Amino acid sequence: MRSYATRHVAVHAAELETPAIRDIERAAVELPINGNTPDVRQSVLNKARTDPASSVSTTTAPSIPARPGTNSATSSSNSKLQFGKTLGTIPYMPNVLVTGCSSGIGFATALELARAGHHVFATMRHPERAPQLAHTAASEKLSIKILPLDVDSDESVNACFQSIAEPIDVLVNNAGIEVHGSVEELPLSSMIAVMNTNCFGAVRCIKAVLPQMRERQSGCIVNVSSIAGRIANSPLGAYSASKFALEAFCEALAGEVKPFNIRVALIEPGVQDTRMARDISTGPKSIYPQVERFSAFIRAVLADPVSPDASATAIRHVIESGTWQLRHLPGPNAAPFVGWRASMTDEEWVDWNALGDDDWYEAVQRDFGLDARRS
């Protein structure tokens, strides 16, 4: 076994424009292979925790190239329009539709945007079961309109978007579910369900809003993906597949609609303290050890919880800044996790996940300073 050997993997640095994040990635990709050094990975995590500049990465908007056959004056004036900023003397606050607002990141995003003055259509499957957002909106006199929307259903998506008379300037695809379990044990119906909600649910909403954004030559589509859209491990195979698929759709879409001055962004949270993360922290019984020990790992990460506000802040930043950056890693643990994975070859990654329990818990202790056995 090689010790103290380092690898230099040139990854992600180009897309991670904020120097702090680029530094984190560089540090993380120069890690020792067998980890016999002092805990470099932990120091990478600690650096991210204490460096707020590393929590959101962004670039400023380039000027929009005029699309052949379109009015270049319209395109370029739209390109200068930054939501939330003053346009002349009039502050331009867009109408934003957010999916999955009953809890977690969607709930936090609806409040973050409305408190900043945006007009929010906060959608959820069962508004009657989640009255808290309506109560907060009423007590703070926020511009939040709550509408029913189930992203799994064509009928529900059509009915919701058709019921809104105002233009929708920004769509935030946040609604999501998680399923976890080994490929052998997880029912195919669960795999299809997670793909339907996390990928096709977002695509349904995108298709519903694109015609109006294209006609207006203006819009912004923010999609809450995950670091699981870049990293796949057991027992999150089906969940990761849904997020990888969402990322592929969005990456292709971004180039398709940029000529129409429509921005597309992917928000990739790490582990944030929501109902979903808490659910993953309790594993079903499995014949595969990865299921239980990954739950233990999530429990250990959640012992130092990151608020979903970190994603809400990043989403607001994407909307207001006019950035054309595709991928964003909100919160203190997203960039380090992505950098840590990037420090391994694919085969080393497979081997890490295939370790026996004792070696795996030891590796987690070494790489993250987390005692997952006790969590």
Ligand X SMILES: NC(=O)c1ccc[n+]([C@@H]2O[C@H](COP(=O)([O-])OP(=O)(O)OC[C@H]3O[C@@H](n4cnc5c(N)ncnc54)[C@H](OP(=O)(O)O)[C@@H]3O)[C@@H](O)[C@H]2O)c1
Q: Does position 266 bind ligand X by CB under 6 A?
A: no
Q: Does position 246 bind ligand X by CB under 6 A?
A: no
Q: Does position 42 bind ligand X by CB under 6 A?
A: no
Q: Hey, which residues are catalytic here?
A: 239
* CB nearer to ligand X: pick between 75 and 102: 102
Q: Does position 332 bind ligand X by CB under 6 A?
A: no
Stretch that binds ligand X, among 4-12, 113-121, 250-258, 266-274 (CB under 6 A): 266-274
* CB nearer to ligand X: pick between 219 and 269: 269
Give the nearest distance from C-beta 177 to ligand X in angstroms: 5
Angle (CA) 163-167-169 rounded to 5° is: 125
Q: Does position 300 bind ligand X by CB under 6 A?
A: no
Of these, 33, 116, 177, 253, which contacts ligand X (CB under 6 A)? 177
Of these, 234, 240, 272, 295, which contacts ligand X (CB under 6 A)? 272
Rounded CA separation 273/300 (Å) = 12
Q: Does position 102 bind ligand X by CB under 6 A?
A: yes
Build a one-symbol-per-residue string for 119-158: x at contacts with ligand X by CB under 6 A, - elsewhere. -----xxx---x------------------xxxx------
Stretch that binds ligand X, among 131-139, 164-172, 274-282, 360-368 (CB under 6 A): 274-282
Build a one-symbol-per-residue string for 208-237: x at contacts with ligand X by CB under 6 A, - elsewhere. ----------------x-x-----------
Of these, 174, 290, 295, 325, which contacts ligand X (CB under 6 A)? 174
Of these, 18, 95, 261, 274, which contacts ligand X (CB under 6 A)? 274
Q: Does position 269 bind ligand X by CB under 6 A?
A: yes
Build a one-symbol-per-residue string for 55-94: x at contacts with ligand X by CB under 6 A, - elsewhere. ----------------------------------------
Rounded CA separation 68/71 (Å) = 8
In DSSP terms, which residues pair with 171 in a beta bridge?
Answer: 97, 221
Chain residues binding ligand X by CB under 6 A are: 99-106, 124-126, 130, 149-152, 174-177, 197, 201, 224, 226, 269, 271-272, 274-277, 308
